[in-house]
């Protein structure tokens, strides 16, 4: 709903644009305030507030506020706000969780299924043919790479996670056609990952890049059979430790793991079942 309003702003008259900006600034308050106060805060007349609601596709102010309030009450924020220093614990809980939920839903709507299909095919083919699947990441992305390796190696494929820049260069140098290098980066500007990706590309491996769509790392996928799984988000990674981006990257790994597991031959999928069976003895202490 807020995305629709944001996209409609350029086509609205100046007065209705002010109403739109008021909605975007604080949707929760807009859903509860009377029309008189909405008009005052927007510096417009009351009829202008109603016209704005109709311009963006609703029957009127009542219809607009009802649907806005219903969406807000689902707990999905419309404006990604950072945590403030004076926030109480309850505020932090709401903001952190709402930011994550909102980011997940936005990614669900924005994800390119064609790119996922190509990545799934490449990873499945590598697994079937005994080729290497290397996961590269540094810092927080290195943690995601380890999670990916943990998930994929249980499928019986040759999966490795590398987070050291020097080892990434050596690993990428040993890749061959048919191998896959999965590069994970929040910003897409890491020098280590750019070097490893360029080497892997020269060696004929398929790049599967999980990063921001406008980053230098993403540009490496524009030619050849390389694949970009774009993950864009409003998180300010220069100020805060990445949170939402890491969760989004983990979701991408879960999608890839699930899809590849379903496409692998039966004997490889049985490996995961046997691993789980052998782990049961580790999970429960025997009581005499």
DSSP assignments along 136-159, one per residue:
E--THHHHHHHHHHHHHHTTTSEE
The tokens describing 162, both together, are 């590398």
**pLDDT digit string, tens, across residues 13-70:** 999 999 999 999 888 889 888 999 999 999 999 999 999 998 888 888 988 888 787 6
More confident residue, 74 or 199: 199
What residues contact residue 75 under an 8 Å CB cut-off, 6+ apart? 94, 97, 98, 101
What is the reported pLDDT for 135?
98
User: Helix 61-72 crosses helix 46-55 at what angle (to 10 degrees)?
Assistant: 70
Kindly state whether residue 91 falls inside one of the protein's structural domains. no
**pLDDT digit string, tens, across residues 152-170:** 988 889 999 999 999 999 9
> Over 223-265, what HEC string results?
CCCCEEEECCCCCCCCCCCCCHHHHHHHHHHHHHHHHHHHHCC
What is the reported pLDDT for 2?
80
CATH of residue 130: 3.40.50.10490
Residue 227: phi, psi to the nearest 5? -130, 130
For residues 70 and 118, membership in a common domain is answered with: no
Kindly state whether residue 85 falls inside one of the protein's structural domains. no
Kindly state whether residue 285 falls inside one of the protein's structural domains. no
Domain end residue (candidates: 60, 79, 98):
79
Cβ–Cβ under 8 Å, residues 7 and 29? no
For residues 257 and 124, membership in a common domain is answered with: yes
Q: How confident is the model at residue 92 (pLDDT cuts 50, 70, 90)?
A: confident
CA torsion angle for 52, 53, 57, 59 (degrees, to 10)? Answer: -130
Lowest average pLDDT, out of 31-35, 133-137, 199-203, 263-267, goes to 263-267
What is the reported pLDDT for 268?
65
The range of the structural domain enclosing residue 192 comes to 112-277
The Cα–Cα gap between 131 and 70 comes to 50
CB atoms within 10 A of CB 98: 17
CATH of residue 54: 1.10.10.10
Please, what is the average pLDDT of the chain? 85
Nearest CA among 128, 100, 106, 90 for reference residue 250 = 100
For residues 184 and 57, membership in a common domain is answered with: no
What is the reported pLDDT for 168?
96
Lowest average pLDDT, out of 91-100, 122-131, 214-223, goes to 91-100
What is the reported pLDDT for 208?
97
Lowest average pLDDT, out of 57-61, 82-86, 261-265, goes to 82-86
More confident residue, 70 or 194: 194
What residues contact residue 269 under an 8 Å CB cut-off, 6+ apart? 155, 261
What is the reported pLDDT for 286?
60
Kindly state whether residue 64 falls inside one of the protein's structural domains. yes
For the beta sheet containing 132-136, the strands, ordered from the edge strand earlier in sequence to the opposite edge, are: 158-162, 132-136, 180-184, 206-211, 227-230
**CA angle at 45 for the pair 41 and 48, rounded to the nearest 5°:** 100
Q: Is the pLDDT of residue 288 over 50?
A: yes
Burial of residue 143 (CB within 10 Å: 0-12, 13-18, 19+) is middle
What residues contact residue 18 under an 8 Å CB cut-off, 6+ apart? 42, 43, 44
Task: State the total domains in the chain.
Answer: 2
Q: How confident is the model at residue 235 (pLDDT cuts 50, 70, 90)?
A: low
| Number of Cα atoms under 13 Å in the Cβ half of residue 74 | 13
The Cα–Cα gap between 177 and 126 comes to 10
Domain end residue (candidates: 57, 79, 101):
79
What is the average per-residue pLDDT within 126-150? 94
The Cα–Cα gap between 134 and 127 comes to 11
For residues 50 and 118, membership in a common domain is answered with: no
What is the reported pLDDT for 242?
65
**pLDDT cut 70: percent of the chain above it:** 87
Kindly state whether residue 262 falls inside one of the protein's structural domains. yes
> Quick one: which H or E segment has residue 80?
none
């Amino acid at each position: 709903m807020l995305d629709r309003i944001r996209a409609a702003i350029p086509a609205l008259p100046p007065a209705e644009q002010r109403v739109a900006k008021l909605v975007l600034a604080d949707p929760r308050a807009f859903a509860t305030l009377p029309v008189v106060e909405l008009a005052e805060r927007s510096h417009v007349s009351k009829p202008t507030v109603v016209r704005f609601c109709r311009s963006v596709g609703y029957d009127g102010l009542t219809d607009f506020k009802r649907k806005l309030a219903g969406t807000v009450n689902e707990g999905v924020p419309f404006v990604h706000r950072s945590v403030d220093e004076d926030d109480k614990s309850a505020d932090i809980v709401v903001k952190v969780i709402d930011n994550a939920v909102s980011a997940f839903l936005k990614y669900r709507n924005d994800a390119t299924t064609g790119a996922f299909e190509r990545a799934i095919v490449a990873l499945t083919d590598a697994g079937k043919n005994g080729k290497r699947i290397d996961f590269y990441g540094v810092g927080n992305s290195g943690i995601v790479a380890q999670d990916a390796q943990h998930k994929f190696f249980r499928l019986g494929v040759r999966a490795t996670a590398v987070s050291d820049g020097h080892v990434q260069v050596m690993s990428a140098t040993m890749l061959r056609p048919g191998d896959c290098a999965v590069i994970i980066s929040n910003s897409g500007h890491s020098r280590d990952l750019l070097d490893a990706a360029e080497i892997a590309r020269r060696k004929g491996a398929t790049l599967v890049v999980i990063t921001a769509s406008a980053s230098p790392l993403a540009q490496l996928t524009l030619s050849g059979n390389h694949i970009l799984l774009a993950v864009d988000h409003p998180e300010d990674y220069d100020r805060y430790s990445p949170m939402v981006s890491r969760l989004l990257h983990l979701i991408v790994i879960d999608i890839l793991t699930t899809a590849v597991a379903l496409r692998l031959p039966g004997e490889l999928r049985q490996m995961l079942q046997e691993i789980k069976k052998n782990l049961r003895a580790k999970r429960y202490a025997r009581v005499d």
